[in-house]
Structure 1
Amino acid sequence: MVKKRRAVNSTSKISYLHQVVPIVVWIATGGLVAGLFYNRASQVAVFGIVQGRVFEVGTTCPGRIVSIPVALYQDVKEGQTVAVVNILRDDHSATEAQLRSQLETISAEIQHLAAQLVPTQEQILAEASRTETTRAENLRRFAADVDNARLQVLQLRAQIETDRMAAQALEPEISLTTKLVEANAIAAIELERLRLQHKALVTKIEENSALLEQAQQNLQAAQQRLDSFAAMTLEHPTVDHAVEVIRKQIAVQERLMDEVSAQLEGIRRQQAFEIKAPADGVVVQIAMDVGDTVDVNLPILKIAQAKPTDVIGYADEAIAGQIHQGMQVEVIRRGPPPAICQGQVVSVGPVIEQMPVQLWRNRNVPQWGRPFVVRTSGQMDLLVGERVGIKRL
């Protein structure tokens, strides 16, 4: 019995050792690796700053910013749209003035046709009551519904285009007034008035667009009713002739409205200029807002290079002569997370110069050193502006 207990205890001890020993070995290995890493990091004699190219993104011609579809610190890809600018051109202003005049003419003609259509419709209804059957009377009523619906569509389209131009004309005035208010040149109430006026126009455009959609649906429904009823309705050419003239004039105004709308859309497309990201990176600064007027060579935003590989180090005078092109080095980040990667010195500065404040041991005591550039293997994710250690192999 005693021998049996001893055998069980011996087996338990062996099983326990099999479980504990791997854990102890793993902990010891981790501690050894960490110790070696920090031992290497403690031997760093030179520090540097990760350098990456920062692209200033602007426009090649003056314009007004209408959209910035990226956010601060957002990752972007090369060729991605980062801003949309409306190009300011004198010929566009002249063309818009002409189109505005045409819209006013179309609106006046629409009102004239509407004034003619009402008495003509009354004449048709009076004549129909004497000479037409109920079916013919209904046909003309359906035709009148179509005409009224077409006029309503034209009126709404003319009003929407007029309001859009008015709202667009207010945007640069709002931008200028904003700057004047910030400079305390004028009272803020003037800016508020312009913003309220612009908001009212935008609201009116949205409401009229909804009404236009409904009016187009009404026109389609009225036309379908007319077409289906016309097949079984008698016509009276002598009465229809007067309305047919008005219908032809309405068709003319519809074509004119389509032409003006197409020209306005063409101008908007020519004005809209998309600015693309020059390289993969991160948006690190947005210098302007939507509605601002931007000039040539003024940055709209800045994009920092993604995954930088260059480090600028500074060797103090005691070891400045030991740095040479082609030297193999290690770039060390103490963390978190700690990391080490290989690199090579690709260029060395010819003179001793003042180090960046970030590398001073004492922020009140300037330090000097010889600059050199290390190009890493790219195996470590570096951040632009990050401080790292540099150790000679």
Structure 2
Amino acid sequence: MSKQQVSVFWFRRDLRLEDNIGLFQALHSTYPVVPIFIFDDSILDSLPKNDARVGFIHQSLSKINVQLQEVGSSILVKKGKTTAVWQSLLQEFDVKEVFFNKDYEPYAIQRDKAVCGFLETNKTSCYSFKDQVIFEEKEITKADGLSYTVYTPFKNKWLEKYKSIAPVQEYDIEPHYSNFSKTGFAFPSLEQIGFEESPIKVRPHNLKFIANYQDIRDFPALDKTSYLSPHLRFGTVSIRKLVNWAFHKNDVFLSELIWREFFMQILFSFPKVVTQNFKSAYDGIQWRNDEADFKRWCSGTTGYPMVDAGMRQLNETGYMHNRVRMVVASFLIKHLMIQWQWGEAYFAEKLLDYDMSANVGNWQWAAGTGCDAAPYFRVFNPEIQLKKFDEKGVYVRKWIKEFDLGYGKPMVEHAMARDRAIATYKAGILK
């Protein structure tokens, strides 16, 4: 019996049917389209069994599956080592073409190269598309073709290029739904994938506060942020729709979306930043890296209310307000003299919106070791930050239940820690 000739669309960081370029292109293929998602053991094996992000992916795939069932199709969900899964798919179907949207992280680039190499040796054509950014890789460069390493000129060039094509084309997929393969794949439960429900959930995104974003974004007690970041990370929203909308709504909010693409370009162009300082001159700094101090930071028991509230919010919800992220990162690096890689790894474990490029970029910004980073001698004073951005203590009381019962003494005195950090940086910076 001959196998069915199909095209395959491979979902990854684009968990939506709407305005999905790779899916749009797949549905214009000659062959009926089988949509798939692969839970990659190379990623899953390092995660706890109740990882909330896996639960969110599963929930998003379930929504896609319901949409597909309405048009007589379904999504095929697999689990395993990626290349082994593709080997099994070629046994099951006569796969003529594979379509997917690009991912710019080092592991993903390596994985996709291996998969496409395997597919092409089996006479299966491979097509990849730009979907999670407005501009990718080498589209925003200096006059000499090199990547920008300073944000402001990158932003200016980005805006210039965007305005020349605005609004960015969006892709209407619904008229092509009939091109999905007529299938009825069984949709696996979270338990069948080897995971379980987490008490932590991804919140719906909310854009109603964007009009005055610049006035409210620094005050964590207001809780008036968009909660977009995990949705951007996993592609449940379209960056094209969002940017076309934000361009007319708020310049400061749009700038945050451009920062996202700046850090993605840095990661793509300088993959060493995943584990190493962008500025190698900082490689000589002598870190304390005290494990007991690190545990106190992780658990939110440093004695500095804004630091502790932020870490407890992170541990309980998988979120942390952006202003507070800067404060807790600066504290770990400058007050405790613990290198940024420790904090970056902890955030990678806990954040619902963990995105390698932004996480690495922001941690190196705080450490002063990254491109266009804060100067090393800038040391946030957590007490001043509390007075400026949570003067009435609403945010810290929400996360520190014992706050009014005589809160603990700070584990390190600010002035001493600041002087120690600056002296250590000065001594360690390589000439």
TM-score, structure 1 as length reference: 0.18
Structure (1/2) with the larger helix percentage: 1
Structure (1/2) with the larger strand percentage: 1
Between Structure 1 and Structure 2, whose CA radius of gyration is higher? Answer: 1
TM-score, structure 2 as length reference: 0.17
Higher relative contact order (CA 8 A, sep 6+): 1
